[in-house]
Structure 1
Amino acid sequence: MSTPQPRANVAEIPPYVAGRPPTVRPGMTSYKLSSNENPYPPLPGVVEAVQAGVGAMNRYPDMGSTALYAALGESFGVPVDHLSVATGSVGLIYQLVQAFCDPGDEVVYAWRSFEAYPIAVTAAAATSVQVPVLADGRHDLDAMAAAVTDRTKIVLVCTPNNPTGPAVTQTELDAFLAKVPGHVLVVVDEAYVEFVRMDDAVDGIATYRRHDNVVLTRTFSKAYGLAGFRVGYAVAPAPIAGALRAVSLPFGVSTIAQAAAIASLERSAELFERVDELVAERARVVAGLREVGWDVPEPQGNFVWFGLGDRTAEFAAAADEAGIVVRPFAGEGARVSIGEDEANDRLISVAAAFR
């Protein structure tokens, strides 16, 4: 008897592997450093905004996200018709591939990079073109430009790159954009943009304003600490933003997510004080790791990368024994979030012993 069958590409979709929770160990506080979450609790005022939204849970969210669009437009100085919101920046990546790729079209991106890229591409029956990162974890933008063909519809530039950590410079991005044909969409995935502290850092807003084929994807999950509410936004020329809104899930961003995002934007000064503290802690962790002999790629997100190869699982097990859970990528390395001070101290100790 025949049964309904999904499209052939569905069977080829790789699973997304989320960072697992920490192992409970009696007498020891365990820490989750596997998902690049912000370790700080919500800002004062955000919880109150969410609680107010809960009282309207019997009503659908504002499908037009009117107040959120207005807040984003004011915060970043962009027209509201140049914006699109979704369930995190990952939701926007899915929508971009859905909106711009026909089956068989190519999407070029660095690898290893964000784990959701091949999932989104395969789900749309498009074709991934993975370009290896350089030895220091940076994008090989020259090789990525060379990989663009007449079948390429999208190029994804993850900066800072998740999971390896480095970010591209404005000079590098400008040179890359000069090589990419104007009909190819260039997605600058800036999920960790708030953590970047480097010379010649990318100015995403200025870049999108200069190019008709550039879209920025950002999220409230990381720096803003709203990972549980799933809200991100894209900044793009009006036709691209309109295409994203056209394929968006109706009522996808909940009432409380919209309220939390607006309240967070209103408290950006307090937020960035916390981001500065996390960046300072990142610098302390990197210095500690280098002091005990590790040469980690220059991190510009809220995480560090250990290129461990075949020893990845062994390192993850050692971290777990110490009460910290990391995100291993089998045969390649481990990504470790910057978390609470005690968790970071344990990471340095584990790394020192593992050498």
Structure 2
Amino acid sequence: MEHGGAREGEEKLRDFSYSANPYRPPFVKRALERAKIERYPYCNERLENDIKNKLGIPQDVVITAGITEQIQIIITYFRKKRFVSLRSTYGEYVRTARLLGSDIRIINNPDPDISELTPSRGDVLFFANPNNPTGKYYRYVNELVEQAEAKNFMLILDEAFIDFVDSVVPYEINDNVVVMRSFSKAYNLSGIRIGYAITSRPLADKFRDMRLPWGIGTIGCAFIEDILKDRKFLSTSLEKIRYERRRISETTGLRTDASYFLASVGSATVAVKRLKENGILVRDCSSFGLTDAIRFSIKRKKDNDLLLSLLRELEVRPPGYVSFR
């Protein structure tokens, strides 16, 4: 399973394959210094309540070592059920289900209508919103949540990139819904594995029993504490990202609701090679079943300008199989 982000030996490249906030929060040093690394991290219950109170929700919150641990917990718990996933989406859903021997149905359309998503009774649907790698936010999410309860299937909403969406559709979480969220993308902290799930009390208790003991560590606890106190960094950095997103969109004709763009380039392999020769690392989307496309993230203006000059030579265009109407 491939993921974005520079590998060892690629540190000198400008990394557009990593789709997180390009700005670093000001509390990084403080959190690292404050973490009590000599102690076990007995902070989960307190921080779960803090997150719940900040969100103002009646459901329970379960802290995990990122969304990846949530996926493993959810698939392990529901392993005897059938899972449903898009082909062109985050690959850990399918990989983990197959690893655990679970049945999984793949939807090949990279931009499905809601009618294509409705699973059978008892199924478990993984749905990333906004989707990765297309960057599209689906505004029918509230209808999908209602269908999960009415038709009795489990809906697992992956909202790893929800902070980058301009206008989010409200919905009421019911007992057939699990919402997966991460702090990594919005706060540029992928090396600190911290995330949380929102779900009903019975499911939350089961998930807590199944998660890795002390999975996030005291460093993760310290970062969550500072994130919950943040009043300025996120809003300020998101405004800069939105400005660059509009500028890139106006220049290239590409569209996105997230922190990255999907671009059709003819051959992803050729485009990735040419960009790498010019010091730019982007994501080859062949692993998503999109052999004609690359994904690149939104960085700071200087880096974006360099990439834009190279993209003109590649003659990038919007993928014909994703509509933002």
TM-score (norm 2): 0.88
Instruction: Spell out the pairing of 1:97-108 with structure 2 (5 A cutoff).
Output: 97-102=75-80, 105-108=81-84
Aligned counterpart, 1:16: 2
Query: Are the equivalent residues in 2 in contact too, given 1:190–1:217 (CA < 8 A)?
Result: yes
Instruction: Spell out the pairing of 1:1-355 with structure 2 (5 A cutoff).
Output: 15-21=1-7, 30-43=13-26, 45-53=27-35, 56-62=36-42, 65-79=44-58, 82-102=60-80, 105-134=81-110, 138-145=111-118, 148-150=119-121, 152-169=122-139, 172-180=140-148, 181-198=150-167, 201-203=168-170, 206-208=171-173, 211-290=174-253, 296=254, 298-308=255-265, 311-330=267-286, 331-355=291-315
Change (3 A) 1:21 1:224: same
Query: Are the equivalent residues in 1 in contact too, given 2:20–2:187 (CA < 8 A)?
Result: no
Change (3 A) 1:202 1:109: farther
Report sequence identity in percent: 24
Q: Paired residues, what number?
A: 310
Deviations, residues 57-109 of structure 1 (Å, cap 9, x unaligned) = 222111x5133213202210135x7011111112111111111222xx31112
The separation in 2 between residues aligned to 1:69 and 1:239, in whole angstroms, is 15
Bigger-Rg structure (1/2):
1
Equivalent residue of 1:42, what SS?
coil
Change (3 A) 1:22 1:339: farther
The separation in 1 between residues aligned to 2:37 and 2:257, in whole angstroms, is 38
218-227 vs 172-181, which moves further: 172-181
- What is the Cα deviation at residue 340 of structure 1? 2.3
Query: Are the equivalent residues in 1 in contact too, given 2:63–2:194 (CA < 8 A)?
Result: yes
- What is the Cα deviation at residue 326 of structure 1? 0.4
Equivalent residue of 2:160, what SS?
coil
Change (3 A) 1:263 1:194: same
Give the residue type in structure 2 aligned to 1:118: V
Deviations, residues 285-339 of structure 1 (Å, cap 9, x unaligned) = 111112xxxxx3x311110001345x10111112112221001022242111111
Equivalent residue of 1:164, what SS?
coil
- What is the Cα deviation at residue 268 of structure 1? 3.6
The separation in 1 between residues aligned to 2:104 and 2:303, in whole angstroms, is 36
Deviations, residues 209-232 of structure 1 (Å, cap 9, x unaligned) = xx2211111001011222110000
**For structure 2, which runs of at least 5 residues remain unmatched after alignment?**
316-325
Note the aligned Cα RMSD (angstroms): 2.1
Query: Are the equivalent residues in 1 in contact too, given 2:142–2:169 (CA < 8 A)?
Result: no
The separation in 2 between residues aligned to 1:250 and 1:22, in whole angstroms, is 29
